[in-house]
C-alpha cells in the first residue's frame, strides 16, 4: 500500500525567505507524485506533478519539486516566499499509470504555511 508523510504540520517563513516543505512517500512501484495547494475555504489546486522523465519539476507560482528515488522524497521549494503563498499544501502519490482503472491518490496530512511580513 502506498503512503505519504509530510514532515511538519505547520511551517512559518518570513516574506522573501526560502519555502521548503518535506514529503516522503512509500510505494511498491514507481510512483506518480503531486503537490496540491488549498487556499482558505477553497478546494485543492494542482501545483505540480511528477510522472516520468526529468526529476526536477516546475509548477505554478514559482514552486518546484525534486523527485529523489533513493530518498523516497518529493520536497517542494520556492526560493522567495510571498504573502500570497499562505495556504495549506498537500503531497499525494499514486502508484498506477495514468489511465489505469481504479487509480487513486493517497494524500499526506498537509502542511499549513504561514508567511510573516
Q: Which residues of this protein are in contact with another protein, per CB under 8 A?
A: 4, 6, 9, 32, 34, 41-46, 49, 90, 94, 96-110
Q: For residues 1 and 56, which CB has a smaller minimum distance to another protein in the complex?
A: 1
Q: For residues 17 and 110, which CB has a smaller minimum distance to another protein in the complex?
A: 110
Q: How far is the CB of 39 from another protein (least distance, A)?
A: 10
Distance (Å, whole) CA 34 – CA 12: 22
Distance (Å, whole) CA 74 – CA 54: 13
Q: How far is the CB of 86 from another protein (least distance, A)?
A: 17
Distance (Å, whole) CA 33 – CA 27: 10
Q: How far is the CB of 46 from another protein (least distance, A)?
A: 6
Q: For residues 66 and 88, which CB has a smaller minimum distance to another protein in the complex?
A: 88
- DSSP lists the bridge partners of residue 112 as 10, 88
Chain centroid, CA 100 distance in Å: 22
Amino acid at each position: 500500500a502506498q503512503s505519504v508523510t509530510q514532515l511538519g504540520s505547520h511551517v512559518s517563513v518570513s516574506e522573501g525567505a526560502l519555502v521548503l516543505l518535506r514529503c516522503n512517500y512509500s510505494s511498491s512501484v514507481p510512483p506518480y507524485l503531486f503537490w496540491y495547494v488549498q487556499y482558505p475555504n477553497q478546494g485543492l489546486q494542482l501545483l505540480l506533478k511528477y510522472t516520468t522523465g526529468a526529476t526536477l519539476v516546475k509548477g505554478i507560482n514559482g514552486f518546484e519539486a525534486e523527485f529523489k528515488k533513493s530518498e523516497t522524497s518529493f520536497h517542494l521549494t520556492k526560493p522567495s516566499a510571498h504573502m500570497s503563498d499562505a495556504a495549506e499544501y498537500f503531497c499525494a502519490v499514486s502508484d498506477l499509470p495514468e489511465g489505469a482503472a481504479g487509480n487513486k491518490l493517497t494524500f499526506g496530512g498537509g502542511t499549513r504555511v504561514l508567511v510573516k511580513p
